[in-house]
Chains A and B, each alone.
Chain A
């Protein structure tokens, strides 16, 4: 009798309950409870995130989740951002769009990262999804403004068009004019990546003027200061504004100019309301930066160039107590000598002064264990710590020792650390520390570090939460990789380039681990033209339920069954 009551709980109610569960992890957990929950859940899952577009096929996704409205896909490995993944490697979105065009006519949102998007894909999106609302192309490439014109023209309810950091073939600024006069739905527009100096400015003005809900606007360098003022006047409701690289051309009087331009926006207010500031393309010198920053006490996120210098960061530390994220980039990364006075001291100051600091990306030319230990002890709440000491293998500048102890302190004290990028002179010890303490570490980036396979072994065997591991120019070879092969199935992906993994080991891994795609990438010659003991140039291993892919270029080989190498 009681059993019957439990089963008579209506599906609709469960569905309603599930609709409050948004996180993927929780949804996945729900679907594991029992078959009926799995069944109900899959029919009401509206958002899908696929961290590796080759881990699963579009058909599989569609089969399991028939009513998706929002999809997020990632393509190339992270190191593609630094040109380590040759062009043509893959990450094409067209097969996904083609399948979804038929299966998800009510798809509303597509978010892509590091994928190859063609005009054909964009045209297909424009044609297929009548209620399309959000298109985010983050660090994508392969399309032109013609494709954008198709999106603009057809998507009547477009809310968000965000092309951040994508490479767009800028054929003409007129694509903006393709937004019909009836389009008033835009909430967010980011075209900062467009390189052209021609933008149909009048079309842009009209578009901005007729979208009362426009909250976020990021323009490119074609829009000069006077034009910005015009735009801002038409969109006083903006809360987020970016000017692309325009700021690089500003003269020293930049602060007052910016303030003047912003003052017409009552929601941007003076700068005092700003929580996020991206000056990472602005070559403003330190004194102006300091002034700017001191007027933004509510700043939570700052992206800045090393022009900010230690003095600017000290000012930041004293003015911006809400700061959560700092990203600092070098303006001249290839210069042998630093042209600005930014050292580890700046980062130490921020870590001491900003109690909410969680996320750091910092480029500098020198570091010490002492500084790292100080940072670690003061900011145990760090969740992302990415440090790039520009010269590979740079030791502690005070003691000339490796920086193992410093990074060790980071992993030890920052118990919630999820992402870590290492640099400087590092031995296997730093990996031992990482494996011992980095239990929540999900993503680790390593370059020019370590002494032996022991290092890799520590990480693979110790970091329980590891999902993504990317390694370049480290002396890691077959032993650690093969000994921890099973671990690879628990991770999203592993990238190793310029390491010491032999072709034979790759083949073996590919043969023994059918749930992994083991891709060997070599642009100069096929790996089987050399002895099996020779190391491969680049190796990308990822788990997949879709099996090997078939859209590979000639310089990528998937290791497969015993006899043949799939290509």
Chain B
């Protein structure tokens, strides 16, 4: 019973290998990675692929000897091998949808993400914009298209508690070398702030350092909180693609239903967007997506400061 399954696995891998050979598109690292059983960082060397072949073969031999408690429990062969019947070709097999929703199959969120891989230029902003999975995936896929001045930070790496990270971020190390490095370091690190939304059952946290502008932040927040505006996601929401949710996504900076506000260092609640981005990230302690009706009394910094 297990033999046919093993064979299918081997068959699975063999299916993938030719497509890897064929793919000469080395530039688009993501495509290559789509078809591999591996997630690797930039610079994953080809030699590893050869190991992969050997590993596949040795996998076959050990699986037959290995504990078969599980395979014994399976009913008749192969219904648990997800080979490419549905996937439409090998690209569908292990394509991480976070990197590219471009595989012929289901392309859910319609507009933007669908075009991600086709347009290399479009890729860069999406790296920075999208929150966690995107950042992690892209970094781990080592897409060469991304060449920002500083490396894209991988979420949760190095493994330092956010408590510690936030503490060090707010107390930058004092350098005695006197060449002003302390200021430079202030720019690194991360800065998690809580985001609450009126009516949402729980808070979220965002790292302000990931974003470079208000637009990126707004976009990310929309994605994060969109499931609340759709109404509970009880539908196991097809969250996109049917146009409905897109119209419900709020443009937090300019929309009418909600406004984005933040609490600054002095404890005042301000509207987001009035001050330069850098100043905002320095002074923002927490964010709140407030119903417009509630935000009537809120001031903008322009009003607070004379002659501004």
Contacts and interface: CB of A to CB of B under 8 A. Distances in A.
Contacts, number: 250
Contacts of A193: 163
Interface in A396-417: none
B37 A83 contact: no
A268 to B, nearest CB: 24
Interface in B122-178: 130-134, 136-137, 140, 150-151, 153-165, 167-168, 171, 173-176
A249 interface: yes
A283 interface: yes
Nearest to A474: B39
A165 B163 contact: yes
A86 B59 contact: no
B52 interface: yes
Main secondary structure of the interface of B (DSSP, over half): loop
Interface string B191-220: 010000000011111010000000000000
A245 B156 contact: no
Interface residues of A, number: 88
A87 interface: yes
Given A83-B155, A86-B132, A454-B55, A529 B106 contact: yes
Interface in A128-149: 139
B256 interface: no
A483 B188 contact: no
B63 interface: yes
B249 interface: no
A525 B68 CA distance: 34
B181 A526 contact: no
A87 B205 CA distance: 7
Given A532-B86, A533-B92, A554-B227, A248 B164 contact: no
B302 interface: no
Nearest to A534: B97
Contacts of B161: 81-82, 139, 165
B112 interface: no
B97 A512 contact: no
A184 to B, nearest CB: 31
Interface string A481-505: 0111110000000000111101011
Given A390-B158, A479-B9, A533 B93 contact: yes
Nearest to B171: A248
B266 interface: no
Contacts of B173: 248, 283, 307, 331-332
A524 B245 CA distance: 13
A452 interface: yes
A530 B160 contact: no
A482 B68 CA distance: 10
Interface stretch (B23-31, B234-242, B272-280, B289-297): B234-242
A483 B133 contact: no
Interface of A: 79, 81-84, 86-88, 139, 165, 167, 193, 245, 248-249, 252, 280-281, 283, 285, 307, 329-336, 339, 363, 388, 390, 392-393, 421, 427-428, 445, 447-448, 451-454, 457, 461, 472-475, 477-479, 482-486, 497-500, 502, 504-505, 508, 512, 522-526, 528-535, 537, 553-555, 557, 565, 567
Interface of B: 9, 36-41, 43-44, 48, 51-52, 55-56, 58-59, 62-63, 66-71, 73-74, 80, 82-84, 86-87, 92-98, 105-106, 108-109, 130-134, 136-137, 140, 150-151, 153-165, 167-168, 171, 173-176, 181, 185, 188-190, 192, 201-205, 207, 223-224, 227, 232-234, 236-240
Given A339-B185, A454-B55, A526-B238, 12 more contacts: A86-B132, A333-B160, A445-B159, A448-B140, A452-B37, A452-B55, A498-B136, A530-B106, A530-B108, A531-B105, A532-B82, A537-B133
24 contacts: A82-B156, A82-B162, A83-B132, A83-B162, A88-B204, A248-B171, A330-B160, A334-B153, A334-B190, A392-B41, A392-B157, A447-B157, A452-B52, A452-B56, A477-B37, A479-B59, A483-B71, A485-B73, A497-B136, A498-B137, A530-B108, A531-B105, A532-B82, A553-B201
Q: Which 7 A-B pairs have the closest CB atoms?
A: A475-B38, A82-B156, A554-B233, A533-B82, A452-B55, A248-B171, A88-B202
